[in-house]
Amino acid sequence: MRKPLSSLGQWCFIPALWSISNRWDIPAGLVQDTDMTIRVLDPTSEIRAADKRPAPRPAALAGATVGFISNGKEGTVGFFSHLDRLLRERFDVAEVVHRTKANYSAPAEQDIVDEARNWNLAITGLGD
């Protein structure tokens, strides 16, 4: 918060500390106007998703094609590599396909979605 200090006649930052009592503690005499408004925004989407059911789970993974859709962040590399190995060794998966979205914060591109229709199972993940 920037407020002019009448004694100094210049702009400066006013130190404010959040106390254990959950209120702002601002040194007395530093703030001339204490009218502060906090606006809280709701980050949830106002658009309701269409009622859809999850795809049926496969009865077995032996011989299946499993696809990974990565958000492109570094953390997915090791995680998906480990899952790839486990799926092949323990569940006899025939093929594992790795795809990476162009933008980590956007939905997967249509070509990835179209390709995923041919997979028996799709796994998506975050890499943070």
Cβ-contact 115, 97 below 8 angstroms: yes
Q: E strands within the chain?
A: 2-5, 10-13, 17-18, 24-25, 65-70, 95-100, 121-125
Is residue 47 one of the residues assigned to a domain?
A: no
The enclosing H or E element of 112 equals: helix 110-116
**Can you list the residues of the chain whose pLDDT is less than 50?**
3-22
Write out the two tokens for 60: 């077995």
If asked whether residues 27 and 75 sit together in one domain, one would say no
Q: Compute φ and ψ for 15, nearest 5 degrees.
A: -70, 135
Q: Are residues 26 and 71 in the same domain?
A: no
Instruction: Say if 18 falls within a structural domain.
Output: yes
Instruction: State the pLDDT at residue 25.
Output: 57
Measure the CA angle with vertex 73, ends 103 and 120; round to 5°. 80
In a domain, 89, yes or no: yes
Look at residue 54 and tell me if it is in a domain: no
Q: For residue 99, what pLDDT is reported?
A: 96
Residue 105 lies inside a defined structural domain of this protein: yes
In a domain, residue 23? The reply is yes
CA atoms within 13 A on the CB side of 109: 9
Tokens of 67: 């696809």
pLDDT reported for residue 28: 61
- Is the residue at 36 inside a domain? no
Asked whether residue 13 is domain-assigned, the answer is yes
The whole-angstrom separation of Cα 99 and Cα 111 is 10
pLDDT of residue 111: 97
User: Three-class SS of residue 99?
Assistant: strand
Owning domain of residue 91: 65-125
Same domain for 22 and 72? no
Q: How many domains does the chain have?
A: 2
